[in-house]
Amino acid sequence: MKNNTMKIVILGGYGITGLMIARLLMQFSSAHLILAGRDEAKAKETAAALNAEFRCVRAEGRYADAADTSTLIKVFQPADIVVVASSTSRYTPEIASAALTAGTDYLDIQYSSYKLDVLKQLEPEILKAGRCFITDGGFHPGLAAVLVHRAADSLDQLEAAAVGSVIRIDWPALNPTRATILELVGELKDFNAAYFSDGHWKKGGMRKMDFGPPFGVNRCTAMMLEEMRELPVRYPDLKETGFYVGGFNGFVDWVVIPFAMIAFRLFPRHALPWIGKWMHWGLLRFSKPPYGTVIRVEARGVRNGQPAFFTGSLYHEDGYQLTAIPVVACLLQYLDGSISRPGLYCQANLVQVDRFIEDMRSMGVTVLLNGD
């Protein structure tokens, strides 16, 4: 598969993450890009700016409405793969069906239990059509299981692996849109606090992890990611694992989020807009440096018959870049055919780990691995 002949649709290609993905693909691949969304003028303007920046004609802007399957099919048909980089998980049935109809592969970056349920129901059709569907791309989900796989590669037996993250974004400088905040708040509705211990997935779970300077020790909450479910099956000696996420700031962590969890249970249809307003205010008012995003694994097991340990971390000063970069590292493997095969996969459990990490390093991620 030659990536200079490939076409990639980026749904939401003029949004924050979508544009970062597009710019990285312009820099690190020779694929043709179709930036698609409901604002056709903005899509075309963004594509023109990319062509000017990289002195080529490899990007174009097209109209597509995630709620209108006919517009999706029209845009998807000339493409090899569609990257869903917009906050459109509620339209997963339309987008996935359009991809199958158009004969297009698929990659998404949303955290959504609804999305996963839809894709799992479509899995027989995906296989029958011979399409490659990659879900849970990006940072979290997307990187936690990668670090566990990397730890397992360094040990003869993997017995425990905890992955944690800290996300500190300069929200005032970013000036997020209402849609961005609502997407963030919407993830709370899907939040499932669970970790694996003694052969079972258990509810709840808190863990203190030392992320080193400048973040230090943080108290993190267990967060279930689909990519983690496969790990106890793949590594039979694994007794403990989980992903643990740090918070935003004191006000959001201890006021907005607990209140939101209660509100979503009591008023599931009406809570989102006003929780979004509180979240927006709390992020702008109380976010303070140091800024940056890091994900870290702490693992133990056996090597050469002796107890052994492995730690590793991936860091970028920009949390949105740390979402976009793994997507592009995954796409580079897709474009050359390394991981393009029929089925439904989580990004973290499909990619070739060593190459994936090195490609992220080349795109600006700081990689620290200790214990090989």
CATH number at residue 293: 3.30.360.10
Domain finish residue from 287, 303, 318? 318
Q: Is 21 contained in some domain?
A: yes
Identify the domain boundary among 81, 101, 135: 135
Dist CA 372 CA 368 (whole Å)? 11
Please say whether the beta carbons of 7 and 34 come within 8 A.
yes
With tokens 């990639």, the residue in question is: 8
Regarding whether 164 and 112 lie in a shared domain, the answer is no
pLDDT confidence of 265, banded at 50, 70, 90? Answer: confident
**Whether residues 106 and 71 fall in one domain:** yes
Same domain, 64 and 167: no
Q: What is the DSSP code string of 206-260?
A: EEEEE--TTT-EEEEEE---GGGTTHHHH-TT--EEEEEE--S-HHIIIIIHHHH
- Same domain for 68 and 207? no
Tell me: do 119 and 242 sit in the same domain.
no
Question: Could you tell me if 157 and 106 lie in one domain?
Answer: no
Residues 226 and 305 in one domain: yes
Q: Whole-prediction pTM value?
A: 0.93
Answer yes or no: is 170 within a domain: yes
Q: Which of 139, 163, 135, 167 shows the shortest CA–CA distance to 151?
A: 163
Strand bridging mode 32-37 / 7-11: parallel
For residue 179, give both structure tokens: 């849609």
Same domain, 127 and 174: no
In a domain, 212, yes or no: yes
Domain boundary among 318, 342, 365: 318
- Say whether pLDDT at 255 is over 60: yes
Question: In degrees rounded to 5, what are phi and psi of residue 165?
Answer: -140, 155
**DSSP of 29-48:** ---EEEEEES-HHHHHHHHH
**Could you read off the pLDDT of 122-147 as tens digits, one per residue?**
999 999 999 999 999 999 899 999 99
* pLDDT over threshold 60, residue 3: no
Instruction: Report the CATH number that the domain containing residue 24 is assigned in CATH.
Output: 3.40.50.720
Domain that holds residue 297: 143-318
202 in any annotated domain:
yes
Question: Does a structural domain hold residue 1?
Answer: no
- Model pLDDT for residues 212-245, shown as the tens digit of each residue: 989 999 989 999 999 999 999 999 999 999 999 9
Strand partners, 345: 134
pLDDT digits (tens, 9 = 90+) for 23-72: 999 999 999 999 999 999 999 999 999 999 999 999 999 999 999 999 99
pLDDT tens digits, one per residue of 330-350? 999 999 999 999 999 999 999
Q: Are residues 149 and 280 in the same domain?
A: yes
Mean pLDDT of 240-259: 88
Q: How many domains, the chain?
A: 2
Q: Alpha-carbon distance 286 to 256, whole Å? A: 12
Based on the domain organization, do 202 and 305 belong to the same domain?
Answer: yes
Q: Does 327 fall in a domain?
A: no
Residue 166 maps to a domain: yes
Whether residue 316 is predicted with pLDDT greater than 60 in this model: the reply is yes
Number of Cβ within 10 Å of residue 206's Cβ equals 11
pLDDT for residue 204: 85
Q: 251 and 231, same structural domain? A: yes
Q: Is residue 178 part of a domain?
A: yes
Q: Is the same domain home to 151 and 131? A: no
Q: Tell the burial category of 340 from Cβ atoms under 10 Å away from its Cβ (0-12, 13-18, 19+).
A: middle
